[in-house]
């Protein structure tokens, strides 16, 4: 149901990239909307939305790189 029987990925890299970018854009829009609801200032809301998502993306990248150094649960190809 969730993967192919051969164990290979069942979607292309380009599909994953587009899905990821669309998700991030959705999260930026939600953050800006919530920030605007609290601040009632479009400029502040835009700044909060952009900065928050840049910080989150950078933090996630660092988190992934940290986990890349941990062998627990990883299998060799």
Q: Which residue has the tokens 């840049």?
A: 54
* pLDDT value for 77: 64
3-state SS assignment for residue 3: coil
Q: Write out pLDDT tens, residues 19-59.
A: 888 999 999 999 999 999 999 999 999 999 999 999 998 99
The whole-angstrom separation of Cα 50 and Cα 54 is 6
Q: How many residues does the chain have?
A: 77
Angle of the 13-39 helix axis to the 42-68 helix axis, nearest 10 = 140
């Amino acid at each position: 149901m969730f993967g192919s029987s051969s164990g290979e990925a069942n979607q292309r890299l380009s599909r994953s990239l587009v899905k990821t970018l669309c998700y991030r854009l959705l999260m930026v829009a939600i953050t800006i909307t919530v920030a605007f609801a609290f601040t009632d200032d479009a400029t502040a809301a835009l700044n909060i939305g952009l900065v928050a998502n840049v910080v989150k993306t950078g933090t996630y990248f660092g988190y992934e790189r940290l986990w890349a150094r941990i062998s627990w649960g990883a299998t060799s190809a």
